[in-house]
């Protein structure tokens, strides 16, 4: 895992030098947020296909999120990997909605899914 760097200015005589402090990497979690419009099957689909959750894991995450407003999908992840995974999920949702609109004439509700990347301890 990558380590976080923090700048520190050190005065030595009349010169100012910068050095980096290396700290432990920050951990992030990917969260899904509840909405009352996306069908449960669509939520399960994204959790299984994009986040590689089993059917049972996806159902548990979905129900927890439905009851509590948001739920943890994956952790710990780096900031970079979490951002990439969320983007992958959003692109998948756009594709599924476009596919649904093509076949049914109506846009889907996948794109209503909201994911966030939040720092966790």
C-alpha–C-alpha distance, residues 79 and 53, integer Å: 20
**3-state SS, residue 110:** helix
pLDDT tens sequence across 89-104? 999 999 998 887 666 6
pLDDT tens sequence across 57-76? 999 999 999 999 999 999 99
Residues in Cβ contact with 64 at an 8 Å cutoff, skipping those fewer than 6 apart: 71
Residues in Cβ contact with 60 at an 8 Å cutoff, skipping those fewer than 6 apart: none
Which has more confidence, 109 or 83?
83
C-alpha–C-alpha distance, residues 14 and 94, integer Å: 57
User: Which CATH topology does 28-120 take?
Assistant: Ribosomal Protein L30; Chain: A, (3.30.1390)
């Amino acid at each position: 895992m990558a380590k976080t760097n923090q700048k520190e200015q050190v005065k030595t005589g009349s010169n100012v030098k910068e050095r980096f402090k290396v700290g432990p990497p920050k951990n992030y979690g990917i969260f899904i947020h509840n909405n009352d419009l996306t069908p449960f099957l669509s939520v399960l689909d994204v959790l299984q296909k994009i986040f590689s959750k089993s059917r049972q894991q996806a159902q548990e995450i979905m129900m927890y999120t439905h009851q509590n407003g948001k739920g943890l999908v994956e952790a710990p992840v780096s900031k970079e990997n979490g951002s990439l995974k969320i983007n992958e999920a959003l692109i998948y949702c756009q594709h599924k909605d476009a596919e649904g609109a093509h076949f049914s004439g109506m846009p889907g509700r996948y794109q209503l899914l909201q994911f966030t990347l939040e720092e966790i301890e």
